[in-house]
Amino acid sequence: AQSVTQLDSHVSVSEGTPVLLRCNYSSSYSPSLFWYVQHPNKGLQLLLKYTSAATLVKGINGFEAEFKKSETSFHLTKPSAHMSDAAEYFCVVSDLTGSARQLTFGSGTQLTVLP
């Protein structure tokens, strides 16, 4: 069975400082991993995905994540936070087995960006 743990429910940073959102996963097989973002009262938007190619994945809006198999981690980073980055972020895992139900979601990390 696969699972995802987002290590921080809330993260607060100042505008212009780096962002780190932490995610650990558990999967029986080689997983696919995703980060989604949800702005208030909106649906989820895909930020980036890892699918067994390069371990450092670049996404939209300057975000990137590094897949570390030895640490079973997929942390999301951004060098410089912007006010518009304030949102909830979900780490998601999908493995190769199972039926059409592909994704397991973390419980989310709320990112606050202070002026």
Partner 1 sequence: DVKVTQSSRYLVKRTGEKVFLECVQDMDHENMFWYRQDPGLGLRLIYFSYDVKMKEKGDIPEGYSVSREKKERFSLILESASTNQTSMYLCASSYPRRQGYEQYFGPGTRLTVT
- State which of positions 42-81 bind partner 1 (CB under 8 A): 42-46, 49, 51-52
Among 11, 21, 94, 113, binds partner 1 (CB under 8 A): 94
C-beta separation of 84 from 57 below 8 A: no
Q: Which is nearer to partner 1, 70 or 101 (CB)?
A: 101
Minimum gap (Å) between residue 90 Cβ and partner 1 = 6
SS3 sequence of 43-64? CEEEEEEECCCCCEEECHHHCE
Minimum gap (Å) between residue 17 Cβ and partner 1 = 26
Could you tell me whether strands 64-68 and 44-50 are parallel, antiparallel, or unpaired per DSSP bridges? unpaired
How far is it, in rounded angstroms, from Cα 26 to Cα 44?
A: 22
Q: Which is nearer to partner 1, 20 or 46 (CB)?
A: 46
Q: Which two tokens stand for residue 73?
A: 């981690």
**Residues of the shown chain interacting with partner 1 in the complex, contacts defined by CB under 8 A:** 9, 32, 34, 36, 41-46, 49, 51-52, 90, 94, 96, 98-103, 105-108
